[in-house]
Structure 1
Amino acid sequence: MIDHVYITVSDLGRASAFYLAALKPLGWREIGFYESDTPGVPNLFGLCDRVYGSGEAIGASIWLRERQPGETGLYLGLAADSLDEVDATHFAALAAGGQDDGGAGPRPHFGPGYYAANVIDLDGNRLEIVNKAVNPKRPG
């Protein structure tokens, strides 16, 4: 399941206004602005779907981030059902030729119970495998 996507934009203010207006009919809303003080983690503007954070289902989010010089590609967050799945996926991605972009472990700067691993694929796209304690367990 897709948990979140980062979209790199040239102007965070302009892009956030666009996405808020464009996705409002789908029930998407603002999560807020995340001002980072963590090295390597950019400032972000977040939007989320109707169920995000409700505890009823795993919600999806889009995070807008200002494009850095030379930056291209996609950043995709994929939901894992357990910490073991995060670890196993990270290991498998590295074994398949991916590059480590942040080993498996807690990410307390994103919230309590946020555990993730980051990998860069063969074309420079970034993947985050994440398990969030706030997400309900998926059936079966």
Structure 2
Amino acid sequence: MIDHITIEVSDLERSKLFYEKAFAPLGYGLSFGKEGVFWACDVGKGCLFEIQHTGEKPPLTRLHVAFRVSSQAEVDAFYQAALDAGAADNGAPGPRPDYAQNYYASFVLDPDGYNIEAMINEV
């Protein structure tokens, strides 16, 4: 299952207002964010659609996709399989307490340089 997708936008405030209005009929709304950096919209079933802007500094990638998995072992297996398939390391499997208390993830860059994540956030 896709947990969240993050895209880079050129004007964060304009995009925030756009998505607030566009998502309103769908029942989606802003969930959290950080002024001037990113906003996350709750799009149902624990999934998020995120927009980011990094200003002068280019983002890690213009697109980021995180897949929610069932166990830490699956995070580890995804990471190794992706490396074996030719991905570049972008964050070995491990806890990410700065994201959430029980967040465990790994990150790879796919052949086009996009940041792909496998994660679990056990409550």
TM-score where L is the length of structure 1: 0.79
Distance 1:71 1:22, change over 3 A: same
Structure with more strand by fraction:
2
CA distance in 2, matches of 1:71, 1:88: 23
Equivalent residue, structure 2, for 1:29: 29
Runs (4 or more) in structure 1 with deviation over 3 Å come to 67-73
Aligned alpha-carbon RMSD (Å): 1.9
User: What residue number does 1:137 align with?
Assistant: none
C-alpha distance in 2 between matches for 1:50 and 1:69: 29
* Structure 2 gap ranges (5+): none
Secondary structure at 1:128 match in 2: strand
Q: Which residue of 2 is the match for residue 119 of structure 1? A: 108
Match of 1:61 among 44, 48, 51: 48
Consecutive unaligned residues of structure 1, counting only runs of 5 or more, are 36-41, 52-58, 135-140
Q: Which moved more, 1:111-120 or 1:22-31?
A: 22-31
Q: For the Cα contact (< 8 Å) 2:88–2:110, is it kept in 1?
A: yes
Q: CA deviation at 1:72?
A: 5.2
How many Å separate the matches in 2 of 1:101 and 1:89?
13
Q: Contact 1:30 / 1:47 at 8 angstroms: preserved in 2?
A: yes
Distance 1:70 1:30, change over 3 A: closer
* Identical-pair percentage: 38
How far apart are the structure 2 equivalents of 1:2 and 1:47?
14
Partner of 1:93: 82
> What SS does the aligned partner of 1:110 have?
coil
CA distance 1:110–1:34, shift in 2 (3 Å)? farther
